[in-house]
């Protein structure tokens, strides 16, 4: 369960989202509406002026990002010098190798990762597949994705796979988009406008 009820003044606009849901959550809105700032506050990279952020009944409002069990992904969220396989298992050290291999193979299928090589040599869409796949394998409580999925040519198919996988392991997905059709894949959808969120369903 994600609960965000905060306020942050940024120049002439105040970002004041109010979100309380679980599962796969879509936030729609134009550029500058406050979508990315909302994710950055939830993940601890921007501290709100007031309010609270709760993840699975734990108040994380002022915790450091690494202590929130929340992963933020944008177009630059990858380790460029790693090989694809090395990247995917980066946070799985100490896990049973047979279980790790099975989990990694499932994620490759879910995310359409049928390629290898250095991550820095991949296309933008391939880099996003690897970044999201790595996050899913780590199984944090929340994965927040900042419009990065727009680089995928099979976006809706991948989103459905992500939603189903995350649901099995109790991971909440929250992603922002400018494409209203993406809400077809979500459990809940919010619209951001001028820093204010409105729950559509």
Lowest mean pLDDT among 12-21, 95-104, 124-133, 164-173: 95-104
Give yes or no for residue 96 having a pLDDT over 80.
no
pLDDT at 94 (0 to 100): 67
What mean pLDDT do residues 56-63 have?
97
Domains of the chain: 2-199 (3.40.50.300)
Greater pLDDT, 153 or 45: 45
- DSSP assignments along the chain, one per residue: -EEEEEEEEETTEEEB-EEEE-SEEEEE--TTSSHHHHHHHHHTSS--SEEEEEETTEE-TTS-GGGTTEEEE-TT-S-TTSBHHHHHTTT-TTS-HHHHHHHHHHHHHHHT----SBGGGS-HHHHHHHHHHHHHHH--SEEEEESGGGG-TTHHHHHHHHHHHHHHTT-EEEEEES-GGGGGG-SEEEEEETTEEEE--
pLDDT digits (tens, 9 = 90+) for 137-181: 999 999 999 988 888 989 999 999 999 999 999 999 999 998 888
pLDDT at 92 (0 to 100): 84
Give yes or no for residue 76 having a pLDDT over 90.
yes
pLDDT at 97 (0 to 100): 78
pLDDT at 99 (0 to 100): 80
What is the pTM assigned to this prediction?
0.94
pLDDT at 151 (0 to 100): 82
Write down the mean pLDDT value for the chain: 94
pLDDT at 180 (0 to 100): 86
Q: How confident is the model at residue 100 (pLDDT cuts 50, 70, 90)?
A: confident
What mean pLDDT do residues 54-72 have?
97
């Amino acid at each position: 369960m994600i609960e965000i009820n905060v306020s942050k003044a940024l120049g002439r606009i105040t970002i004041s989202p109010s979100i309380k849901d679980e599962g796969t959550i879509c936030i729609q809105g134009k550029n500058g509406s406050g979508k990315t700032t909302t994710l950055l506050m939830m993940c601890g990279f921007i501290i709100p002026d007031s309010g609270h952020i709760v993840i699975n009944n734990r108040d994380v409002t002022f915790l450091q990002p690494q202590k929130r069990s929340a992963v933020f992904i944008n177009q630059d969220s990858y380790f460029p010098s790693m090989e694809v396989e090395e990247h995917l298992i980066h946070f799985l050290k100490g896990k049973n190798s047979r279980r790790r291999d099975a989990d990694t193979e499932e994620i490759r299928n879910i995310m359409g990762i049928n390629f290898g090589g250095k991550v820095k040599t991949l296309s933008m869409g391939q880099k996003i597949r690897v970044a999201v796949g790595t996050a899913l394998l780590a199984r944090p409580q929340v994965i927040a994705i900042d419009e990065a999925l727009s680089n995928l040519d099979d976006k809706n198919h991948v989103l459905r796979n992500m939603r189903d996988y995350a649901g099995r392991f109790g991971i909440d997905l929250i992603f922002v988009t400018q494409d209203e059709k993406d809400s077809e894949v979500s459990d809940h959808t919010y619209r951001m406008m001028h820093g204010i969120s409105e729950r559509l369903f």
